[in-house]
Amino acid sequence: MDRRTFLSAAGVAVGSAAALASDAAHAELRLPQKGAPWPIVLNTSTIMSASLDAKIEAARQAGYDGIELWSADLEKHEAEGGDLKEIGARIADAGLFVPNVIGLWDCMPPTEEAFQQSLTVTRKRMRIAADVRAMHVAAIPLPDSKDFSLDWGARCYGELLHIGRDEFGILPAFEFVGFFEGIHRLSQATAIALDVNDADASLILDTFHLYRGGSGFESLQHLAGDFIAVFHWNDVPSAPPREEMRDEHRVLPGDGILPLPRVLEILRCIRYTGPLSLEIFRRDLWERDPVEVARLGIDKMRACIAAADVDRAWTSPNGSA
């Protein structure tokens, strides 16, 4: 059985049977990389300046299992007369899957009236993600504010989850951002997702955001693996100070100071089997050949996995049975 035809028996990153039944194509997962417990995915932010076609081709040539897309690219392609369902078919023909599209911007405005008005654009972005056969679409707690309410976040995310699942066969996953003033910690995002009281609620996590927001990594031990939809993967340098870091400070896995092998051991222990998605925002990489960058990235991802004792970690976070 090859990567192109493998279907995850449990639909691990998707959730309930009801969501799977809505569109089985969205639940397709390929076999992960040889010797790796997780599919390795290219987040197209890493090669942001390339065209949509070039991004797909770079992921294919470099040997990734999937590609994580951005709604701005898809909206531009459609506005220029392109067919997003054809893009989804082309991605599948390349042996790739789409775990997530980023994302639902400004999808949680602070009042009920504004929220209802925002749903027109939000529905369009859900439809766009569904057209390319994405499994998830990122629900980001924007507009950002210091007084962003956890209760209000759960109210908005719950409705977004129902709309995505019932109308488009896609599951919004909640993503927090470490440099936001509002929802910037794992504890806040977890509270919102849990308070939705829906089995399909899930989180998109990111090593950068966990570090930047001050959450750290050891608390991941308290999560169930299937509560995580996608895990964005990257490293950070020793400077500037944590509190001053922004997306552009991310570096390739292994080039920074984060305890990435330890994080992988924890993910293995909690039975996370979803994708690791390389997400970098560096202009120096955007200026290089996208295939070259994609190959460099997957080599870094594979080296990071090889450095972790993931077989031993399958038993418990500290390696004991």
Structural domain spans, the chain: 17-313
CB 38 within 8 A of CB 274: yes
The segments of the chain whose pLDDT lies below 70 read 1-35, 312-321
Determine the pLDDT at residue 315: 52
For domain 17-313, the question of CATH label 3.40.50.1370 is answered with no
Q: Check residue 32 and give its pLDDT.
A: 64
Dihedral, CA of residue 7, residue 9, residue 13 and residue 15, to nearest 10: 130
The two structure tokens encoding residue 257: 């100071």
- H-type alpha helices, the chain: 17-22, 52-62, 71-79, 84-93, 112-131, 150-163, 186-195, 207-212, 260-269, 283-286, 290-306, 310-313
CA atoms within 13 A on the CB side of 314: 7
Residue 171 to residue 205: CA distance in whole angstroms: 15
pLDDT digits (tens, 9 = 90+) for 148-165: 999 999 999 999 999 999
> Tokens representing 157?
């995310």
205 near 226, Cβ under 8 Å? no
